[in-house]
Amino acid sequence: MRSKMPRTARKRRPRRHARVQRGKTNTPTPCTTSLLSSSSSSSPSYTMERDFTVLFRIRPSFLSPTPPPLITSSPPHTTTTVLEPRSSTALSSSTPTHTPHTFTSDHCYLPDSATSTLYTYHIEPLIPFVLRGGYSTVLAYGQTGSGKTYTLSECSRLAISTLFSSNDGQCSISIQAIEIYGKNKVNDLFDLSNARVLIAENIAGSSTFSKTTTKTVSSAIEMLEEITAAWSQRITRGTEKNPTSSRSHAIIRIICTSTTDRNSTPGVLQLVDLAGSERAADHSPSSSKDPTRMSETVAINTSLMTLKNCIRARTSPATAANGSVPHIPFRSSKLTLALKEAFDLYSRQPTHTVLIATASPDAVDVAASLNTLRYADALVTSPHERIELKPDPQGRNVFFWSNERLAAWLAKYSPLGEEQVQVVLDGMDGSRFAKIPEGELCQRMGEASDGKMGEKEVKEVYLKWWKLVIASRTLSQKALESEWKERQREKVRREEQEVAENEDVKRLLRLPAIASAPTTA
């Protein structure tokens, strides 16, 4: 959606908690952090007790005259009803003209709501979270022409302003911008001539944009100019729904690196504007015959289907028969690999995702709106909480090694002296040292040894270290799987206890017919 939405501020209605005040948060912890303050109880709430915040954003109708609303929500705006028109041929005088569908969200913003209101209560609290090392993703998801780009652009502008006013120099801020076009093409929006960009996982399992342009920025104005320039490079084409429809998924990744603790994990604010899902009816007769346009539509819908599969796996209550961890297929597409931190059950740093599901209120778009809200609704009641990776008791996992522990290992397996070891490590802990490329690590050791270590000796030390890194990844995976299975066992124990303590169940078990029934098949 490119035309302007009404900016009438909605009346603030009471919710369960007060909203956050900027900079007044506690240190975040995965899955359970609440960003709360002591402001008026009449304000909407913001809580990070779950991994996801799900918002519905309904754009205004562009029809004239404006038809009666098919999407409605009443205070406290956590439940939304979509009225699906029934076929006129199936109606009689006594048959309802619409089929109601009800969906749940953290909040539904109707057409008369301002984007700034959505930002204040749901995006702004992410800023101190990111500055303290959290990983936040703001994801706009919906049909083409439903208002994704409009909403995300406004939220991005406000977030950048808040980020720099809250920073106070504790973080160095850099930015990356890519678009995912077609099946496999990844474009660097800061350098369209750069054909080497890769979306990959690093050794710690985090999603990275390898070989993309990274720009360090020092002010909100500079960052706004960079993002505006990046957005302008996106591939767009006209459709029946939208004259400037985005034909790619765009991702802006803002990285906040601590200037006081070099080993701390950088905070990330990721802004994701997805290409809209499309149908054949969204194209004109001429464009529907254009093979390029149709291949774009196929690629968009295929990647969005993979995203839906990730949502389904992340929220499905069923687990494998042996109690193993559900498989989330984020490696099935470049888009979902880029969004790995939003959907992965294993958390290596505090994470939170805000999903803004945008929808059109018009009758012709009801099917697409139902599809969008149905998938977003599933994330509200997700039964799978993230698992935080913790150090193993024996201290074998190098990703948790301190600089001192790492220095002792390097001194033991190399001829380097204490000062030379520190030159190689440069204050790094095990997690940072594990991410250094082979060539750089070998060069560091060779230069620090003053000729004492030849290429063969350097290579031997590197291989010993690399084996430890691989072993640590295996340890981490086993520890996470063990924690998952323990959670499932605890869940079963709680359910059995609830049944045992339920008075109605007790009365049923005392009935003669049930008491005498065999307990096994």
CATH number of the domain to which 226 belongs: 3.40.850.10
Per the domain annotation, does 235 fall within a domain?
yes
Residues in CB range of 484: below 8 A, 6 or more apart:
323, 324, 325, 345, 387
What pLDDT was estimated at residue 162?
A: 96
pLDDT digits (tens), the chain, 521 positions: 434 443 333 333 333 333 333 333 333 333 333 443 323 223 344 455 678 899 999 999 988 888 888 999 999 999 999 999 887 655 555 566 889 999 999 999 999 999 999 999 999 999 999 999 999 999 999 888 889 989 999 999 999 999 999 998 899 999 999 998 877 789 999 998 888 899 998 888 889 999 999 999 999 999 999 999 988 888 765 555 555 556 789 999 999 999 999 889 999 999 999 887 655 555 444 555 566 667 777 878 788 888 888 888 887 765 555 567 778 888 888 999 999 988 888 877 889 999 999 999 999 899 999 999 998 888 886 667 788 788 888 889 999 999 999 999 999 999 999 999 999 999 999 999 998 888 999 999 989 988 888 889 999 999 999 999 999 988 888 888 888 888 878 877 887 787 777 777 667 777 777 767 776 54
In our burial notation (b when 16+ CB lie closer than 10 A, e otherwise), range 200-219 reads: eeebbbbbbbeebbeeebee
Separation between Cα atoms, residue 198 and residue 337, nearest integer Å: 11
Separation between Cα atoms, residue 267 and residue 210, nearest integer Å: 18
* Among 367, 388, 409, residue at a domain's last position: 388
Q: Which tokens belong to 20?
A: 């956050």
Q: Which tokens belong to 349?
A: 């740093």
Residues β-bridged to residue 172? 257
What pLDDT was estimated at residue 85?
A: 87
Residue 435 in marked binding region: no
82 burial via Cβ count (<10 Å: 0-12, 13-18, 19+):
buried
Residue 143 in marked binding region: yes
Phi, psi of 463 (to 5 degrees): -65, -40
Separation between Cα atoms, residue 250 and residue 335, nearest integer Å: 9
Q: Which tokens belong to 434?
A: 């594990």
**Pair 376, 54: CB distance under 8 Å:** yes
Residues 352 and 395 in one domain: no
Q: How far is CA 188 from CA 76, 215, 236, 272, 334, in A?
A: 42, 12, 16, 15, 14
What pLDDT was estimated at residue 258?
A: 94
Torsion sign (Cα): 330, 137, 103, 97:
negative
Per the domain annotation, does 4 fall within a domain?
no
Residues 370 and 489 in one domain: no
Per the domain annotation, does 94 fall within a domain?
no
Residues β-bridged to residue 139? 272, 355
Residue 21 in marked binding region: no
Residue 149 in marked binding region: yes
Per the domain annotation, does 20 fall within a domain?
no
What pLDDT was estimated at residue 8?
A: 36
Separation between Cα atoms, residue 366 and residue 97, nearest integer Å: 14
What pLDDT was estimated at residue 313?
A: 82
Q: How far is CA 18 from CA 44, 52, 81, 474, in A?
A: 6, 18, 26, 43
pTM exceeds 0.85, yes or no? no
Residues 306 and 411 in one domain: no
Separation between Cα atoms, residue 385 and residue 368, nearest integer Å: 29
Residues 376 and 420 in one domain: no
Residues 223 and 352 in one domain: yes
What pLDDT was estimated at residue 389?
A: 80
Separation between Cα atoms, residue 357 and residue 109, nearest integer Å: 10
Residues in CB range of 4: below 8 A, 6 or more apart:
150
Per the domain annotation, does 501 fall within a domain?
yes
Residues in CB range of 508: below 8 A, 6 or more apart:
514
**Pair 217, 227: CB distance under 8 Å:** no
Domain count, the chain: 2
**Pair 140, 342: CB distance under 8 Å:** no
Torsion sign (Cα): 351, 385, 74, 21:
negative
Residue 115 in marked binding region: no
Residues 407 and 381 in one domain: no
Residue 142 in marked binding region: yes
What pLDDT was estimated at residue 179?
A: 92
Q: Where are the beta strands (DSSP E) in 15-87?
A: 52-58, 71-73, 79-85
Residues 359 and 466 in one domain: no
Residues 340 and 401 in one domain: no
What pLDDT was estimated at residue 463?
A: 94
**Pair 138, 356: CB distance under 8 Å:** yes
Separation between Cα atoms, residue 60 and residue 164, nearest integer Å: 32
Residues 72 and 207 in one domain: yes
Question: Which of 54, 105, 63 has its CA nearest to residue 361?
Answer: 63
> Hey, what amino acid is at 41?
S
Residues 184 and 259 in one domain: yes
Residue 491 in marked binding region: no
Residues in CB range of 76: below 8 A, 6 or more apart:
13, 14, 15
Q: How many Å separate Cα 178 from the centre of its chain?
A: 16
Alpha helix segments (H runs only) across 379-511: 403-413, 418-425, 430-434, 438-448, 455-501, 503-509
**Pair 253, 175: CB distance under 8 Å:** yes
Phi, psi of 389 (to 5 degrees): -75, 130
Residue 65, preceding peptide bond in cis (omega within 30° of 0): yes
SS3 category, 157: helix
Residues 399 and 432 in one domain: yes
Residues in CB range of 364: below 8 A, 6 or more apart:
none
What pLDDT was estimated at residue 322?
A: 59
Q: Describe the strand order of the beta sheet including 98-104 as a list of residue ranges.
A: 71-73, 79-85, 98-104
* Among 388, 407, 422, residue at a domain's last position: 388
What pLDDT was estimated at residue 358?
A: 95
Side-chain half-sphere of 520: how many Cα atoms within 13 Å?
0
The distance between the two most distant Cα atoms of the chain, rounded to a whole number of Å, is 94
Per the domain annotation, does 311 fall within a domain?
yes
* Among 388, 418, 440, residue at a domain's last position: 388
Alpha helix segments (H runs only) across 208-353: 220-232, 291-315, 334-338, 340-343
Per the domain annotation, does 16 fall within a domain?
no
Per the domain annotation, does 404 fall within a domain?
yes
**Pair 114, 147: CB distance under 8 Å:** no
Separation between Cα atoms, residue 353 and residue 356, nearest integer Å: 10
417: containing domain: 390-521
Residue 454 in marked binding region: no
Residues 379 and 400 in one domain: no
Angle in degrees, CA 295, 253, 315, rounded to 5: 70
